[in-house]
Structure 1
Amino acid sequence: MSNFLVSNPNPNPNNSFEVGQPPNDSVSSLSFSPKANFLVATSWDSQVRCWEITRGGTSLASMPRASILHDQPVLCSTWKDDGTTVFSGGCDKQVKMWPLISGGQPVTVAMHDAPIKEIAWVPEMNLLVTGSWDKTLKYWDTRQSNPVHTQQLPDRCYALTVRHPLMVVGTADRNLVVFNLQNPQTEFKRIPSPLKHQTRCVAAFPDQQGFLVGSIEGRVGVHHLDDAQQGKNFTFKCHREGNEIYAVNSLNFHPVHHTFATAGSDGAFNFWDKDSKQRLKAMLRCSQPIACSTFNNDGSIYAYSVCYDWSKGAENHNPATAKTHIFLHLPQESEVKGKPRMGTNSRK
């Protein structure tokens, strides 16, 4: 690990735009508003921060807008679909609802018995879903103090993705629990991960026909739900350098082209096309891991955080070098537009 840091001291080898006034500790989640270029970051420093991102031609600027404090480190965030409100959850076992755009004060709208690792707003249900290390999933109507429904999970929630009606939850025992949100009180399917090691992240296909899963062992699985499509399932290696294997920390589908990005503990982010099974672009490795990432609503900005992700333990954390950065990359069409599949009409 030390060789890696010495041999590549640059936190920003891809010349991305840097967001000003970043958190004082590692970033745990990044979320763009679905309506405008407001970026929210949650951090281990117990804060939730928001910046307004403005674009002028090929340059970007960031302006800090507001922040709120949790009692303990914050692990996850999401926006309401109308772009008015941010939800954040974490180690204080609660979710705060922050009416950011109106300048209102945050209120607690959800509680668990252990840290809240994942959160999603489901506009089709007008409900908030929270996944916790207490081995439950809870659905919340934010106007009520008690959950609408509590779903037992086989183990702690590590990852969650929703594309209504599909929801996939990755748990600590490598189980992937699939729900059809039209019948949310029953598991639709439980699938052992196609990857041999701990699940780090999941992402539902934009067409709801399957999902991606990433593991700590530098591998991604592409899984289709339909039994007739099982022949299309595959796994591939990524975020590896020689014998060094790094965690896949983040999976994000491009909102327009439906290609996807992976980001890892090796400090790299890559763009992929699952349909043609190709890597579209490999970016240069940053000096620290990429802990999390996200696209904005039209896919014109890819945000990622370069910071220590604790994948090598506390003994490899050097506070002197472990500065936290949030960068913004402007994807070129060639990086994120899918390639035509072999044997198909190239104009398709």
Structure 2
Amino acid sequence: MSTFGAAANTNPNKSYEVAQPPSDSISSLCFSPKANFLVATSWDNQVRCWEITRNGTVVNSTPKASISHEQPVLCSAWKDDGTTVFSGGCDKQVKMWPLTSGGQPMTVAMHDAPVKDIAWIPEMNLLASGSWDKTLKYWDTRQSNPVHTQQLPDRCYAITVKHPLMVVGTADRNLIVFNLQSPQTEYKRIVSPLKYQTRSVAAFPDQQGFLVGSIEGRVGVHHLDDAQQNKNFTFKCHRENNEIYSVNSLNFHPVHHTFATAGSDGAFNFWDKDSKQRLKAMQRCSQPIPCSTFNNDGSIFAYAVCYDWSKGAENHNPATAKNYIYLHLPQVCFCIRHACLSKTSNLSSSHEHI
């Protein structure tokens, strides 16, 4: 079995390292939709924010502020105007942090179990929170009670929103699709095309479907329209020799609508679903990548390199498991997207129609 050696390279892609990273594993990353402010949540109960500046191909990071939760923080989201950050986690609550005004964080959502994922829905001016208590709740942050509580078939693992489409991935491979124009009823319930536990979901930019990633090193491309089911397929990724790794993060590029995958094998790759091609395979880091995100114009790709707990506490060595956040400039690949397509591997050799 391959292992992540302490002396191995955590930064083989020569990305820019973010200053003063969290002291424990990083659970989520999100960029402001308006400016290059990056927020990270982590298992050390903290939510941190950095200002990212870029001069040509040189990128710098400056720690700006942080807040604390009572227990590990699992998820984060920005308000669409870039003024406010939401964070949720094992203390069963979501905090709202008015970052730009320097205000104090306040609790705006509560659950009966840890909050696993959250999403701000600007078209509704509501926050959605999904929990291991098997509920999805919608919140008007000015009120103490949820606007609506939606029962889920199992624990929430991941949420993605591209209004009016919302997809919630739960335990037992359920994928619950909502039309947010009628948010109190399920639009469709789908059994994942992947055979094992859902780890990540991402709505298509055109709202016509979604990606789903699982712990088995595979991604499913799923269209909602029954007439487009022949376009559905799955493909293998984040595998090496006989080792199979979780697909922890799926991120669509905000401009080109290509997408990135990041996995527990320590690799991140860029793909084009429409041509079924891999655009770029990056070098494997020496620790897992638990989360990743693009900035608002897609010129910076942020990813965390740290222990992701997929091999349990018994395989965690605090002396060697350092935590890093890196910033990669992917524009070279995306600017020459069509040139890349003619040279890179074709998914059609490994994809499966479902």
Q: CA deviation at 1:315?
A: 1.6
Question: 2:345: which partner in 1?
Answer: none
Q: Is residue 222 of structure 2 the alignment partner of residue 223 of structure 1?
A: yes
CA distance in 1, matches of 2:7, 2:32: 33
Question: 1:185: which partner in 2?
Answer: 184
Structure 2 vs 1, CA of residues 281 and 335 (structure 1 numbering), >3 Å: closer, same or farther? farther
Q: CA deviation at 1:312?
A: 1.1
Question: 1:83: which partner in 2?
Answer: 82
Q: Is the 8 A contact 1:155 1:171 kept in 2?
A: yes
The C-alpha deviation readout for 1:179-224, integer Å capped at 9, x for no partner, is 0000000000000000000000000000000000000000000000
Question: 1:92: which partner in 2?
Answer: 91
Question: 2:326: which partner in 1?
Answer: 327
CA distance in 2, matches of 1:294, 1:8: 27
Q: Is the 8 A contact 2:6 2:320 kept in 1?
A: no
Q: Is residue 283 of structure 2 the alignment partner of residue 284 of structure 1?
A: yes
Q: CA deviation at 1:73?
A: 0.3
The code of the aligned residue for 1:52 comes to E
Q: Is the 8 A contact 1:195 1:221 kept in 2?
A: yes
Structure 2 vs 1, CA of residues 31 and 7 (structure 1 numbering), >3 Å: closer, same or farther? closer
RMSD: 1.4
Q: Is the 8 A contact 2:18 2:60 kept in 1?
A: yes
The code of the aligned residue for 2:67 comes to I
The code of the aligned residue for 1:168 comes to V
Secondary structure, counterpart of 1:315 in structure 2: helix
Question: 2:49: which partner in 1?
Answer: 50
Identity %: 83
The code of the aligned residue for 1:72 comes to Q
Question: 1:136: which partner in 2?
Answer: 135
The code of the aligned residue for 2:146 comes to P
- Mapping for residues 1-348 of structure 1, pairs under 5 Å: 3-6=2-5, 9-335=8-334, 338-339=337-338
Q: CA deviation at 1:336?
A: 6.8
Structure 2 vs 1, CA of residues 8 and 179 (structure 1 numbering), >3 Å: closer, same or farther? farther
The code of the aligned residue for 2:20 comes to Q
Question: 1:346: which partner in 2?
Answer: none
User: Structure 2 length as normaliser, TM-score?
Assistant: 0.94
Structure 2 vs 1, CA of residues 337 and 295 (structure 1 numbering), >3 Å: closer, same or farther? farther
Secondary structure, counterpart of 1:83 in structure 2: coil
CA distance in 2, matches of 1:169, 1:301: 27
The code of the aligned residue for 2:200 comes to C
User: Structure 1 length as normaliser, TM-score?
Assistant: 0.96
Gaps of 5+ in 1: 343-348
Query: How many residues of Structure 1 are paired with residues of Structure 2 in the alignment?
Result: 341
Structure 2 vs 1, CA of residues 265 and 8 (structure 1 numbering), >3 Å: closer, same or farther? farther
Secondary structure, counterpart of 1:334 in structure 2: helix
Secondary structure, counterpart of 2:172 in structure 1: coil
Q: CA deviation at 1:316?
A: 1.2
Gaps of 5+ in 2: 343-354
Q: Is the 8 A contact 1:18 1:328 kept in 2?
A: yes
Q: CA deviation at 1:335?
A: 4.5
Q: CA deviation at 1:8?
A: 7.2
CA distance in 1, matches of 2:41, 2:108: 17
Q: CA deviation at 1:6?
A: 3.2
CA distance in 2, matches of 1:222, 1:338: 20
The C-alpha deviation readout for 1:60-106, integer Å capped at 9, x for no partner, is 00000000000000000000000000000000000100000110000
Q: Is the 8 A contact 2:77 2:120 kept in 1?
A: yes
CA distance in 1, matches of 2:336, 2:145: 44
Q: CA deviation at 1:338?
A: 4.5
Q: Is the 8 A contact 1:11 1:306 kept in 2?
A: yes
The code of the aligned residue for 2:208 comes to Q
Question: 1:345: which partner in 2?
Answer: none
CA distance in 1, matches of 2:338, 2:193: 25
Q: Is the 8 A contact 2:6 2:321 kept in 1?
A: no
The code of the aligned residue for 1:180 comes to N
The C-alpha deviation readout for 1:227-253, integer Å capped at 9, x for no partner, is 000000000000000100000000000
Secondary structure, counterpart of 2:229 in structure 1: helix
The code of the aligned residue for 1:106 comes to P
CA distance in 2, matches of 1:140, 1:266: 36
The code of the aligned residue for 1:189 comes to K
The code of the aligned residue for 2:86 comes to F
